Structures are given as structure tokens and as C-alpha cells.
């Protein structure tokens, strides 16, 4: 087999390619101006975090967003990586309503994986692509003050509700943005692990969607982007719904169109919107540069929920 080399492009072909690039840039300009100096919060997780090429694409997207004058805040998950480490250490892990039951031994592993390995990988990737990133957890500067998350479960036979003990699983009680705002308005991209600390100093594991929604609300973000492993909110026929109001989203939950794991995401969206976030987008993180498509084109790449 012989090696084949690409034929050099003709001047006219190269010119057409450069003109196409210029056209894309000019079409993106109104969208760039829309977000100028605004804060956008991006929940980063799912399949995109485990795929090397998609992870590199995400890092490049963060660099571009920062360079055009937008202030990105990244909040990341890490469920699969935590599960892999727990299995490696021989620690059994149970789930209740999609939440990991987190005892003291488990929360130490969660903190090690989230605030350590994953957080620094994302920081390193963004820095390698040309921006300056800094890794934080919600414990730094008491950014996320948390309380124990209480859930109840109804017994189907007796119809009696019982309180579930999820261990060190928490929910945001207060968001302190002093340190975060200092970082945002510098040339740094903050990357946050969703851990919280209680008033008595206990560490809590917090769902990344919930943490990103609370942070976006407190910062008054222009947009909250939830990168997921689905295309967006789907109708009963499996087609993506490009836009929803809060009322429409609530109706789809009530009639069962929105179900399962999408329900807590929608509730996070509604809560953020009620707290002043202008718009929330659920989009597929498995699509290369989905965030740029959503922000800088009129086609979008997911489901926009707004008031």
C-alpha cells in the first residue's frame, strides 16, 4: 500500500474556504454581542467528560467563549468516575431516586475524585487550549453552604411515607459568590466541583445540576447550560422541542411527556428561571461544539426554557 498525499488546493478553492469562514464569523457577531460581558454557567458532565475528543472540544469552546468577552463558569459532575473508583476500592454504593447514598467513607472518595482528579483534568485541558483556568470546589471560600438533603418515600402497600437517609448528600442552602466573582472578572475561567460544606463543617455531595442552578441564580447569569446525554426535551414522538415556557414545561411534566431523570433537570431549570436567570438550555454534550451552536447560531442545539 502506498501513502497518498492530499493534492494542494487551488487558490480559488482556498479563497472560497476562507470566505466561508469569514461568513460564519460575521453571522456569529450579533450573538457574540448579545452575550458580551455576561455570565454563563455551564454544567458539564455525562458522556462528553469521558470522551477524549469531546473533552478537548469542550476545552476549546471555553477558551473561545472567554476570549470573545463572555464570562463562563463551569460546574462539573463525575458520576461514572466516582462509581469506577468506588468499585476499584471495593466500596458498595446504593442509589435512591437517582441519588447516591453517601456514607462517610464514600463522601471522602467523592471529594477525592471530584475536587481532585476530574477538576484538575478539566482545568488542565482548558489551560492547554490557551486560557487560564482555576479549579475550585464549593467548599472553597464557603462558596456552597449546604444542608442535608431530606427525601421521603411512600410505601406502596401501607401508603405511609418514610424519611430516607441518604447520608452526606446535600443541597445548597446559601451561595457565597465573593471569591467566584473576583475570579470571573479576571482572565480566569472558574471550574467548580459540586461539593458543599455545612455550618458545622461537614462535607456534602451535591448533584451537579442542582449546584449549577443555584450558582447561576446567585450570579444572575444570562444563561444556564445543562450539557446532558440527550438531545434536549423530547415530545411524545421523540422529537426535540426547541423552546418551552415554564408553564409549558410544567404541563409536560404533569401529563407524563417529561419523565424519569429529566424531571429533576426541568425542576432545576424552573427554579433558576424563577430566581432571575434569563434562560436555561438543555443540550446534548455528545454533539461536538454543541455549546457554540446554541450560543452563536440561530439554529440552536437543544431546548431553551424561558419565562
The reported pLDDT for the residue numbered 157 is 64
Return the DSSP state at 124: H
The model's pTM = 0.87
Domain boundary assignment for the chain: 35-306
Q: CATH number for the 35-306 domain, one of 3.40.50.300, 3.10.105.10, 3.40.1160.10, 3.40.47.10?
A: 3.40.1160.10
Task: Provide the residue count of the chain.
Answer: 307
**212-223 as b/e, with b when 16 or more CB fall inside 10 Å?**
bbbbbbbbebbb
Axis-axis angle for helices 119-128, 52-67 (nearest 10): 60
Where the chain has pLDDT below 50, the residues are: 1-2
pLDDT value at residue 110: 93
Integer angstrom CA distances of residue 95 from 115, 118, 165, 208, 285 = 21, 22, 11, 16, 24
Q: Which residues contact 226 (CB under 8 A, 6 or more apart)?
A: 43, 209, 212, 265, 268, 269, 280, 281, 282, 283
The three cell numbers of residue 108 are: 471522602
Q: Are strands 161-164 and 223-228 parallel, antiparallel or unpaired?
A: unpaired
DSSP letters, 31-84, are HHHHTTT-EEEEEE-THHHH-HHHHHHHHHHHHHHHHTT-EEEEEE--HHHHHH
In tens, the pLDDT along 255-293 reads: 888 888 888 889 999 999 999 999 999 999 888 899 998
Q: What is the pLDDT of residue 161?
A: 64
- Please give the helix or strand (H or E) that residue 280 lies within, else none: strand 279-284
pLDDT of 2 reads 47
**What is residue 152's predicted lDDT score, i.e. its pLDDT?**
66
Give the model's pLDDT for residue 1.
Answer: 47
DSSP character string of 142-177: G-EEEEE--EEEE-TTT--EEEE--BSBEEEEEE--
Q: What are the pLDDT digits (tens) for 232-244?
A: 899 888 889 999 9
Helices assigned H by DSSP within the chain: 11-34, 47-50, 52-67, 79-88, 104-111, 119-128, 178-184, 208-219, 246-254, 262-274, 290-296
Amino acid at each position: 500500500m502506498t501513502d497518498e498525499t492530499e493534492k494542494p488546493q487551488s487558490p480559488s478553492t482556498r479563497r472560497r474556504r476562507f470566505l466561508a469562514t469569514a461568513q460564519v464569523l460575521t453571522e456569529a457577531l450579533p450573538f457574540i454581542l448579545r452575550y458580551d460581558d455576561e455570565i454563563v454557567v455551564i454544567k458539564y458532565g455525562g458522556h462528553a467528560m469521558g470522551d477524549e475528543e469531546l473533552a478537548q472540544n469542550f476545552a476549546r469552546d471555553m477558551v473561545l467563549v472567554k476570549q470573545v468577552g463572555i464570562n463562563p463558569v463551569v460546574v462539573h459532575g463525575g458520576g461514572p468516575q466516582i462509581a469506577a473508583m468506588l468499585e476499584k476500592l471495593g466500596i458498595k454504593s446504593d442509589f435512591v431516586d437517582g441519588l447516591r447514598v453517601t456514607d462517610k467513607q464514600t463522601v471522602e472518595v467523592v471529594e477525592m475524585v471530584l475536587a481532585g482528579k476530574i477538576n484538575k483534568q478539566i482545568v488542565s485541558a482548558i489551560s492547554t487550549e490557551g486560557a487560564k483556568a482555576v479549579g475550585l470546589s464549593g467548599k472553597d471560600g464557603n462558596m456552597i453552604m449546604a444542608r442535608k438533603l431530606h427525601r421521603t418515600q411512600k410505601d406502596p402497600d401501607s401508603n405511609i411515607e418514610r424519611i430516607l437517609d441518604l447520608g452526606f448528600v446535600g443541597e445548597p442552602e446559601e451561595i457565597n459568590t465573593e471569591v467566584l466573582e473576583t475570579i470571573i472578572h479576571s482572565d480566569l475561567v472558574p471550574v467548580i466541583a459540586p461539593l458543599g460544606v455545612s455550618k458545622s463543617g461537614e462535607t456534602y455531595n451535591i448533584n451537579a445540576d442542582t449546584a449549577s442552578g443555584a450558582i447561576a441564580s446567585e450570579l444572575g447569569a444570562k444563561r444556564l447550560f445543562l450539557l446532558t446525554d440527550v438531545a434536549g426535551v423530547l415530545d411524545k414522538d421523540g422529537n426535540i422541542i426547541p423552546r418551552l415556557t415554564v408553564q409549558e414545561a410544567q404541563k409536560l411534566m404533569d401529563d407524563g411527556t417529561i419523565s424519569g431523570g429529566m424531571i429533576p433537570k426541568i425542576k432545576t431549570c424552573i427554579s433558576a428561571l424563577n430566581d432571575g436567570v434569563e434562560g436555561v438550555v438543555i443540550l446534548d454534550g455528545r454533539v461536538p461544539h454543541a455549546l457554540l451552536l446554541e450560543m452563536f447560531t440561530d439554529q440552536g442545539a437543544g431546548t431553551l426554557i424561558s419565562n
